[in-house]
Amino acid sequence: MNLSFYPVDITYEVKDGKPIIKLFGRTTDGKQVCVLDDSFEPYFYVQGTVSEKKLESVQKDEFKVVRVEKCKKNVNEKEEDLFKVIVNIPKGVPVLKEIIVDMTGVKKVYEYDILFTRRYLLDKKIVPLTKTKVVGEKIAANCKVDCIKAKSIKKESDEIIEPRIVALDIETYNPDNSLNAKKNPIIILGLYGDNFSRVVTWKKFKTSNKYIEFVSSEADMLQRFAELITEYQPDIITGYFTDGFDFPYIVERAKINKVELDVGLDYSTIDIRGRTRKEASITGIAHVDIFKFIIRVIARSLKTDQYSLNAVANELLGATKHDVDIEHLFDVWDKGGKNIEQYCEYNLQDCKLTYDLTIKLLPNLIEFVRIIGLPIFDVNRMSFSTFVEWYLIKKAQEFNEIILSKPGHNEERERMHDRIQGAFVYEPKPGLYEKIVVFDYRSLYPSIIASLNISKGLVNCKCCKKASRINTDRGEFWFCTKQKGFFSEIISELITHRAKIKKELKQKQNPLLAAQVEALKVLANSFYGYLGFAPARWYCIECAESTTAWARHYIHKAIDSAKKEGFDVLYSDTDSVFVQLGKKSKKDALDWVKKINDDLPGLMELEFEGFYPAGLFVATKASESGAKKKYALLDEKKHITIKGFEAVRRNWSIIAKEVQQEVLRLVLNEKNTENAKKFVRETIEDLRANKIPVEKVVIRTELSKTVEGYSTVSPHVAAAKRMEKDGKKVSGGTIVSYVVTKGKGKIRDKVKLPHEVKQKDYDGEYYIDHQILPGVERIFDVLDVHIDELTKNTKQKTLEHF
């Protein structure tokens, strides 16, 4: 029979000494299937002078070499003769590799650490979630869905599945605030999908909510959960932090209640792997923990600095969680009755938000699946470096390159000491400027890697005398010009591919194309960081060092040229140049850029970023010199871009940020220094009189480790200690909120938690001197306003002074 299907999940089993790949997915007519392929063999590569016979005879326990083939492959971009050693079962690869690596004549072994299922997808060029053609026969097997034994299997088209998704969330009984799965049961479990809402709980109350379903015990609830999943037949189960919390909790409670959760399509249960970084998987269904994708990939493009479901849903969906007192759920549960209902509604809302977030981010996630070629489960849990690495691995096949091995423990440790010189930052002269034009190099690092052929195998070749050379702290480097580099060529393809899609996107808006453009940008921008990332297979410190050195070369070139042309250069950071037009026109600036671009190699380009009628640079706190990475720009639509100022930093109180932002607005937009002064004075008086509400004086700081890990007790650590006293758990990643109150001693001695203080308790003087004034002082300096003018004629200080 012939069929087309979209693979969702992949696994393998060994039967009669032979591995069988199992691809779970959905057919084009919407039925779930499992496609079996027993034709794929595990293998790895051997380099050296050793006889094939000898290699063929290697075996240990049930593992043995099946066959050896001679082949030619590029090892670090140079062609070599290698042996492809084919092995009977996947688990034999690492075992037999260990024996072979010690044989005389063997120089090196490669590609022994590529997971069998991933290798299958890459070699067969099958892309998960993408239409795949199968010829085969239906066979009987212990499986919830039809099983097809494949005769042939291959990618059919780029068409993508519209997956069936269900979101999961649980609420637990939690009297001691400890989230202890061994002790406390799950009391509410919710699911939300396409036209599907269900909340299961095991205490009855009167309700007209049709989606609430009552069972008689936690065990029955877990059983019901398994049934509902089986009935709904999702391709994807999604959740928010379900890897770390919900699934491990469910599995633990199932164990205690002796409930068999056979949700896997092959009747297997939920598998929890890892201790500190847990991952939950279900055979045949892709478990997406959308929190992981958000925190690792999406986070830096979000405004929020908190990644709670509420904060993220608020920003991405404009929706919020239901407001219930979740800490007292246990109390309400104990008392029973109608009050439990609001928690069921809350639970379903969380499921819905998670579902909607997944729907919203799925195009981006799927884009990475298409680029990398691995299952959505894997891609969901990857970070930037792994994206780059797996993209390189996929491309290695095309380029006939050997996949380099990961560094050993010691080598990785040594690499950690390697430091490279980074970007150049121009020191601005503090001041209020007019008519500013900003230019920046488009994708500077990627375009340098592509244009200068920067690639690990080409460093300082013996053959090229004419190659452009660059001086660095590590010495002089150049890259072979006689061949296209593996690394540079891949990034070059990415850039041109992205430019093409971006053009298409301009013609017709399309969320999938937008996701593709975004994914390619993220990927390209990660290539440079990857070069200097210690665990990387294609680690190349000379490449990284050269990339930044060339970047410094080209930014200086732009700065010098702008100056020569008669522009005042105000500022520059890494890839940007800020110039003041002065008597020159916008057209003069654009003409100048054209001239620069004529001289640039390959894909490099200096772009016009924007025109700003006004901009402000300030001095640093410590000296008279201009502060880098700290400025504000006003655009023609009166919108202000604030960079680096306290107003955009998380660990400043809201009042300090608001005042600074307003001062910047009054200065840049309205050019009204008097109003700015007045505004600050008024705030100062309000703080003295404790008229500002407590929420606005709360300071939030993230704990980077546990309290014991700190050598000094700073205010946020003191606050964390108070939280611990309250019975709250704090650890690395916890955001600590505190208020500085009136009193004696160090600031840490005056720190209290927000709920402990009344409005009259906070120390207005502290907030004036340490939060308000530091934020506006440098701004007023630029306007020649002395700080005394801000504080003096507020009543108290005046009296004190005289």
Partner DNA sequence: CATATCTGCTTACC
Partner DNA sequence: ACTGGTAAGCAGATACG
Q: Between residue 577 and residue 636, which ones bind DNA under the rule CB under 7 A?
A: 618, 620-622, 625, 627-630
Looking at the Cβ atoms of 347 and 526, the one nearer to DNA is: 526
Q: Does 535 bind DNA (CB under 7 A)?
A: yes
463 φ, ψ to 5°? -90, -20
Shortest distance (Å) from residue 413 CB to DNA: 12
Which residue of 50, 219, 302, 423 would you call a contact of DNA, by CB under 7 A? 423
Which residue of 257, 651, 669, 706 would you call a contact of DNA, by CB under 7 A? 651
Distance CA 35, CA 124 (A): 14
Which residue of 12, 391, 478, 530 would you call a contact of DNA, by CB under 7 A? 530
Shortest distance (Å) from residue 530 CB to DNA: 6
Looking at the Cβ atoms of 338 and 705, the one nearer to DNA is: 705
Name the packing angle between helices 511-531 and 541-564 (round to 10°). Answer: 110
Distance CA 764, CA 694 (A): 11
Q: In degrees, to the nearest 5, what angle opens at C-alpha 32 toward C-alphas 27 and 34?
A: 95
Footprint on residues 146-165 left by DNA (CB under 7 A): none
Which residue of 355, 486, 487, 528 would you call a contact of DNA, by CB under 7 A? 528
Looking at the Cβ atoms of 568 and 765, the one nearer to DNA is: 765
Residues touching DNA: how many (CB under 7 A)? 71
- Express the helix, strand and coil content of the chain in percent, nearest 5 each: 40, 25, 35
Q: Does 534 bind DNA (CB under 7 A)?
A: yes
Distance CA 175, CA 185 (A): 11
Q: Does 537 bind DNA (CB under 7 A)?
A: no
Footprint on residues 681-720 left by DNA (CB under 7 A): 700-705, 709-716, 718
Which residue of 739, 778, 790, 791 would you call a contact of DNA, by CB under 7 A? 778
Q: Does 644 bind DNA (CB under 7 A)?
A: yes
Looking at the Cβ atoms of 108 and 406, the one nearer to DNA is: 406
Q: Half-sphere exposure of 385 toward its Cβ, with a 13 Å CA cutoff?
A: 12
- Binding pattern for the stretch 654-683 against DNA, x by CB under 7 A and - elsewhere: ------------------------------
Q: Does 385 bind DNA (CB under 7 A)?
A: yes
Shortest distance (Å) from residue 649 CB to DNA: 4
**Residue 197 tokens, joined:** 């809402």
Footprint on residues 429-458 left by DNA (CB under 7 A): 440
Task: Return the amino acid letter for 228.
Answer: L
Shortest distance (Å) from residue 202 CB to DNA: 35
Shortest distance (Å) from residue 292 CB to DNA: 8
Which residue of 216, 397, 421, 672 would you call a contact of DNA, by CB under 7 A? 421
Which residue of 183, 469, 649, 792 would you call a contact of DNA, by CB under 7 A? 649
Looking at the Cβ atoms of 49 and 623, the one nearer to DNA is: 623
Q: Does 575 bind DNA (CB under 7 A)?
A: yes
Shortest distance (Å) from residue 520 CB to DNA: 16
Shortest distance (Å) from residue 385 CB to DNA: 4
**CA 594 vs CA 53, 291, 684: distances in Å:** 64, 44, 50
Shortest distance (Å) from residue 421 CB to DNA: 5
- Binding pattern for the stretch 735-774 against DNA, x by CB under 7 A and - elsewhere: x----------xxx---------------------x---x
Chain-centre distance for alpha carbon 486 = 26
Looking at the Cβ atoms of 96 and 719, the one nearer to DNA is: 719
Distance CA 718, CA 716 (A): 5
Q: Does 556 bind DNA (CB under 7 A)?
A: no
Shortest distance (Å) from residue 305 CB to DNA: 5
Q: Does 801 bind DNA (CB under 7 A)?
A: no
Footprint on residues 183-202 left by DNA (CB under 7 A): none
Looking at the Cβ atoms of 177 and 625, the one nearer to DNA is: 625
Looking at the Cβ atoms of 224 and 628, the one nearer to DNA is: 628
Contact 577, 562 (CB under 8 A): yes
Q: Does 576 bind DNA (CB under 7 A)?
A: yes
Q: Does 732 bind DNA (CB under 7 A)?
A: yes
Looking at the Cβ atoms of 240 and 528, the one nearer to DNA is: 528
Question: Could you report how far apart the first and last alpha carbons of the chain are, in Å?
Answer: 98
Shortest distance (Å) from residue 656 CB to DNA: 10
3-state secondary structure of 459: strand
Burial of 445 (0-12, 13-18, 19+ CB in 10 A): buried
Looking at the Cβ atoms of 115 and 648, the one nearer to DNA is: 648
Shortest distance (Å) from residue 786 CB to DNA: 17
Looking at the Cβ atoms of 75 and 618, the one nearer to DNA is: 618
- Binding pattern for the stretch 295-324 against DNA, x by CB under 7 A and - elsewhere: xx---x----x-------------------
CA pseudo-torsion sign 730, 733, 515, 401: negative
Shortest distance (Å) from residue 774 CB to DNA: 4
Looking at the Cβ atoms of 386 and 546, the one nearer to DNA is: 386
Closest CA to 180 of 754, 764, 729: 729
Contact 337, 205 (CB under 8 A): yes
Shortest distance (Å) from residue 256 CB to DNA: 28
Q: Does 501 bind DNA (CB under 7 A)?
A: no
List the beta bridge partners of residue 138.
Answer: 148
List Cβ neighbours of 799 (8 Å cut-off, separation of 6 or more).
Answer: none
**CA 358 vs CA 304, 345, 713: distances in Å:** 18, 20, 40
CA pseudo-torsion sign 705, 706, 712, 714: positive
Shortest distance (Å) from residue 584 CB to DNA: 23
Q: Half-sphere exposure of 365 toward its Cβ, with a 13 Å CA cutoff?
A: 31
Residue by residue, DSSP assigns 400-414 as TBPPPPPPPHHHHHH
List the beta bridge partners of residue 280.
Answer: 272
Looking at the Cβ atoms of 205 and 424, the one nearer to DNA is: 424
**Span near DNA by CB under 7 A; candidates 80-88, 261-269, 398-406, 645-653:** 645-653
How many Cβ atoms are within 10 Å of 452's Cβ, its own excluded?
24
Distance CA 238, CA 67 (A): 43
Shortest distance (Å) from residue 648 CB to DNA: 5
Distance CA 17, CA 21 (A): 13
Closest CA to 658 of 675, 641, 634, 679: 679
CA pseudo-torsion sign 298, 300, 302, 308: positive
H helix and E strand count, the chain:
24, 30
Shortest distance (Å) from residue 699 CB to DNA: 9
**Residue 39 tokens, joined:** 């034709």
Contact 552, 526 (CB under 8 A): no
- Binding pattern for the stretch 264-283 against DNA, x by CB under 7 A and - elsewhere: ------------xx------
List the beta bridge partners of residue 167.
Answer: 192, 238
Q: Does 386 bind DNA (CB under 7 A)?
A: yes
List the beta bridge partners of residue 739.
Answer: 752
How many Cβ atoms are within 10 Å of 292's Cβ, its own excluded?
20
